[in-house]
Amino acid sequence: MPEILYDTIPSFDLNDFTKGDAASKKAFAQAIGEAYHNIGFIAVKNHGFSDDLQDNLYKSIKEFFALPQAVKEKYDGVKTHGQRGYTGKMREHAAGRKIGDLKEFYHIGRHLPNNESSHYQENIIPAESPDFCKYTLEAYQQLEKVGRTLLKAMAIYLEQDENYFENKVDKGISILRPIHYYPLTQDEAVSGAVRAAEHGDINLITILMGASAEGLEVKRQDGKWIPITAVPEQLVVNVGDMLERLTNGKLRSTHHRVVNPPSAKAGMPRYSIPFFMHGNPDMSLKVLDSCVDEAHPKKFEDATVEEFLMQRLREIGLAK
């Protein structure tokens, strides 16, 4: 397959898959598969995630992050390996990097009552922001639905049954992460720290609604960084490391970053709300047979979602 160097990420209409005939679905699957092979990022429209929900979600998370620091720290998630609740400034860092990122964030996940796994523990809900729980949980459910639809298309591209992923993500340990990239002081702006250092995502796919300001950049195969600008009514969806492992690199987990703003905008905050879609804890990430041949030998060790997740959480400082 010839490799393409994009100047921006390609955009697709999800209706071509959800409302199209068999030929349209196959063409959609092939097109996004090629885009994921070349750059690892796409944008989709007609996804069903409403503007009203996005607006209410952003309003509720801004209210939370505006609370006094002592109040936010009441909801610290350190005992959950950072998988629930609040994580404070500069506590997370990219793998292989010791300087923390210039951000704070909150985690909402799937809660399964009477399940002893730490991956399904209760969410930590801030009492001071009553809409926070309502809108984050609603967004979680809606974005997971979008993700499952896209995984159906990817399964077709990978020469699997359309429903290949369904019983592997139905109890997925996905995370919704509202992020506050706070205004930078002069010392922070020149400290060598950045809002989010270069990294690949851990999970299967990441779904991102429009952020409140520019800053996200994606690294092409030739090493050039290209900006990703929020497009109204579209979601940005990228491949994570787990899906890259499963597909032996056929679908590419592309490194990306959030750069610091220019000095004139250093005092402006940035908000972003990615949905990190994971499989079930016991989902196997063993490379698919359809992705291995003489020209593409298997290059990843076998692992489960849980095993790989915990390894990476230790690497980024959220677990010990």
What string of pLDDT tens digits covers the 320 residues of the chain?
Answer: 556 887 889 999 999 999 999 999 999 999 999 999 999 999 999 999 999 999 999 999 999 999 999 999 999 998 888 889 999 998 888 777 878 889 999 999 999 998 888 899 999 999 998 899 999 999 999 999 999 999 999 999 999 999 999 999 999 999 999 999 999 887 776 677 889 889 999 999 999 988 666 889 999 989 999 998 767 789 999 999 999 999 999 999 999 999 998 888 888 999 999 999 999 999 999 999 999 999 999 999 999 999 999 898 888 877 76
Rg, C-alpha atoms of the chain: 19
Judging by beta carbons within 10 Å of its beta carbon (0-12, 13-18, 19+), is residue 217 exposed, middle or buried?
middle
CATH numbers and ranges of domains, the chain: 11-315 (2.60.120.330)
Contact 245, 252 (CB under 8 A): no
Instruction: State which H helix or E strand residue 52 sits in.
Output: helix 51-65
pLDDT of residue 220: 92
Helix or strand (DSSP H, E) at 128: none
According to the model, what pLDDT value does residue 189 have? Answer: 63
DSSP line for 132-158:
HHHHHHHHHHHHHHHHHHHHHHHHHHT
CA–CA separation, 312 vs 116, rounded Å?
A: 22
Q: What is the pLDDT of residue 226?
A: 92
Q: What does the alpha-carbon distance between residue 126 and residue 36 come to, in Å, rounded to a whole number?
A: 37
Residue 302 has a CB neighbour count (10 Å cut-off) of 11
Is 167 exposed, middle or buried, given 0-12, 13-18 or 19+ CB atoms closer than 10 A?
Answer: exposed
- Rounded to the nearest 10°, the torsion over CA 202, 205, 210, 214 is 40
pLDDT at 318: 75
